[in-house]
Amino acid sequence: MWCRRLSHLQSRLQDLLRGRVTCWALQQPSFKSLFPLAIHWHHTASKSLNCVWQQHEDHFELQYANTVMRFDYVWLRDHCLSASCYNSKTHQRSLDTASVDLCIQPKTIRLDETTLFFTWPDGHVTRYDLDWLVKNSYEGQKQKVIQPRILWNAEIYQQAQVPSVDFQSFLETKEGLKNFLQNFLLYGIAFVENVPPTQEHTEKLAERISLIRETIYGRMWYFTSDFSRGDTAYTKLALDRHTDTTYFQEPCGYNNYDRAVINTVPYDVVHRWYTAHRTLTIELRKPENEFWVKLKPGRVGAKLERCQVLFIDNWRVLHGRESFTGYRQLCGCYLTRDDVLNTARLLGLQA
């Protein structure tokens, strides 16, 4: 006890002088470890594992799998996966995070093979697999490939020759759905071809990806230019590029037609907003940034033709239309982003 106390006091003194972290010799320090005070890096027994770690005053530092990671002690206690702290059936935390002492420090740290054991002052033991720590550390996450996005304009998209997915394969095969979602995540739009032109088939397609979002326009909307709703979508007028439902608390994305009166900011900020809006609009209206799609009609008179369904990520791609004459009917729905991303992740996509 005595030698530990001395080493501890001395290390604190050195610590104050150097303003550096200290590393306690976790086993009973031998005399040689007291003078001069060395910063100990703990090495794994087997060099092949190549894991080095250090217990700092306010965090735990781990070097493993070519990653230097730093963990807060409250974080290490809070993410404990032991039976009393974590419900492995529901993957939920049972530990009350607010009960963790914000100044908590582990009494001992031990590495056994590829598992780190942290023993806390109350005797509770938290174990972490080294690979779990790499995967769930801030530093490990930063290395992860984020979902690649391909920024495009009309020319880039046309040249990419992105394949549409056939209706049957989309509905009946995992590959079909996965290829579709991969394109959707990469480009923000994706097509399904060969779809029977009915609301039921469109609905089936949508439900293959996610829950359909019920809104004031209904679950599946089937609309035409009958002005059945007080909105220019229900007319023959052209609609400049926009996204829908910007007036919802959880909108599909932003839209100039539906913008309410700007009355939440003072006049000088308003002018800055208009200047920024103009810059964005000029960019959006550049012809090279427009990609026109002539939607194949599914029904002409009594004749039914298989048609295509277009999915748009409203956070990345705006939509609009030209004005038109004659009779035109459009069927569609809104999907919830969380569910679309969840389906993509379940298929192993980075979303």
Ligand X SMILES: C[N+](C)(C)CCCC[C@H](N)C(=O)O
Ligand Y SMILES: O=C(O)CCC(=O)C(=O)O
Residues 123, 21: Cα–Cα separation, whole Å? 24
The interface partner of residue 321, options being ligand X, Fe ion, ligand Y, none and the CB cut-off 5 to 8 Å by kind, is: ligand Y
Min dist. Cβ of residue 348 to Fe ion (A): 32
Q: Evaluate whether 53 touches 40 at the Cβ level (below 8 Å).
A: no
Which of 64, 137, 162, 244 is in the footprint of Fe ion by CB under 5 A? 244
Contact residues: ligand X, CB under 6 A: 217, 221, 223, 231, 233, 242, 244-245, 255, 257-258, 332
Min dist. Cβ of residue 144 to ligand Y (A): 35
Q: Which long-range contacts (CB under 8 A, 24 or more apart) does 196-204 make?
A: 196/167, 196/298, 196/304, 196/306, 197/297, 197/298, 197/299, 197/304, 197/305, 197/306, 197/307, 198/298, 199/331, 201/167, 202/309, 202/331, 202/332, 202/333, 203/333, 204/171
Q: Which is nearer to Fe ion, 192 or 312 (CB)?
A: 312
Q: Evaluate whether 295 touches 308 at the Cβ level (below 8 Å).
A: yes
Which of 45, 150, 330, 346 is in the footprint of ligand Y by CB under 6 A? 330
Residue 40 interacting with ligand Y (CB under 6 A)? no
Name which of residues 318 to 337 contact Fe ion (CB under 5 A). none
Residue 104 interacting with ligand Y (CB under 6 A)? no
Identify the three-state secondary structure at position 63.
Answer: strand
Q: Among 78, 138, 127, 136, which Cα is nearest to 104's?
A: 78
Residue 313 interacting with Fe ion (CB under 5 A)? no
Min dist. Cβ of residue 291 to ligand Y (A): 14
Structure tokens given for 252: 């599909």
Residue 233 interacting with ligand Y (CB under 6 A)? yes
Residues 246, 231: Cα–Cα separation, whole Å? 14
Residue 313 interacting with ligand Y (CB under 6 A)? no
Residue 78 interacting with Fe ion (CB under 5 A)? no
As a residue count, the chain comes to: 351
Min dist. Cβ of residue 178 to Fe ion (A): 28
Residue 284 interacting with ligand Y (CB under 6 A)? no
Q: Evaluate whether 209 touches 339 at the Cβ level (below 8 Å).
A: yes
Per CB under 5 A, residues contacting Fe ion are 244
Per CB under 6 A, residues contacting ligand Y are 233, 239, 244, 319, 321, 330
